[in-house]
Amino acid sequence: MRILLVDDSTVMRKILTRSITQAGFAVDEFLEASDGMQGMEVLNKEGKVDLILSDWNMPIMDGLEFVEEVRAGSDEINSIPIIMVTTEGGDAKVAESVAAGANGHVKKPFTTDDLQNALGKFLS
């Protein structure tokens, strides 16, 4: 199991790694990117991952643009489940991310239980 974490905060990427591990998910590899453009570079270089967790607010290419790029990408990457992990938690923002192709949403700050609930159907 490989997960790509896309967030401009190094600390948040470490928190996600620790929380996913504490939630009991067996992940073989965590790949990291600090913005959507770097996320696309990782996908193009590393190939298929099993799940993407992406922040919304990032420089260069934000999370929504990243979701749209992944969904417009090759067959190898456009079907990867994407969960937005962000402070953008209003109904309109959630609907916007789903319309762009996100498969789920976790609002920061989150608990391990929040991650288990959001990721369970993708990582079980």
Which residues are CB-contacts of 66 (< 8 A; sequence separation ≥ 6)? 6, 35, 36, 37, 39, 40, 54, 58
pTM given for the model: 0.93
Beta strands in the chain (DSSP E): 2-6, 29-33, 51-54, 82-86, 104-107
Whole-number Cα distances in Å, 106 to 30, 81, 119 = 18, 14, 9
Give yes or no for a contact between 6 and 52, defined as CB atoms under 8 angstroms apart: yes
User: CA-CA distance, 66 to 57, in Å (whole number)?
Assistant: 11
Q: Hey, what domains does the chain have and what are their CATH numbers?
A: 2-123 (3.40.50.2300)
pLDDT digits (tens, 9 = 90+) for 27-86: 999 999 999 999 999 999 987 899 999 999 999 999 999 999 999 988 888 999 999 998
